[in-house]
Chain A
Amino acid sequence: MATIEVGGKSIAVDEEGYLENRADWTMEIGEAMAKLDDCELTDNHMEVINFLREYYEEYQIAPAVRVLTKAIGKKLGPDKGNSKYLYELFPYGPAKQACKYAGLPKPTGCV
């Protein structure tokens, strides 16, 4: 099984780098995953990651990017609830990449 090394511990991930056990998640793990993609997490990244974690807690699902964009707009305003802003933060695809750092499974319907 694939793992990621964080703070001297090996954390299990799947073949695409998504966390195997959602309960394992810490901010440090999210940061370590981002580093592998040459991405430095800022407060703006964190805002989206925390939003996704709350969304998952409530609905037990990682939202599709269309739904994520709309929901972010509702919660954080239109200057953040648009694809341009979200793709700048997460160039590999906001739902896919942010879900990974948030320790969530890949969004339903993502290939």
Chain B
Amino acid sequence: MLHTVNKSPFDRNSLERCMRTCDKGSAILLIEDGVYGGIKGSVIEDKVKGAMKDVKIYALEADLDSRGIKGRVIDGIQLVDYNGFVDLTVEYDKVQSWL
């Protein structure tokens, strides 16, 4: 399953809930304010790295760019553009959008 998260992890618990609940082999795509979850040096970095043992984590490039944090993404998070976003929705059978 592909999970999308669009809220800042410092404002809402959607990312933590998603990481705690998603199945092994899933993917999490960070979009909109969700991309703040991919920032290096934050208090949730370790949790995100922990989740990456079981799931792939992606982040939407346009959202990282606009927020000035593309150069600060945790190693191992893969950046995708809008086409890549579409590819992911095709690759996984279902999409769950955590709000």
- Do A and B have CB atoms closer than 8 angstroms in the complex? no
B residues sitting closer than 8 Å to A (CB atoms) are none
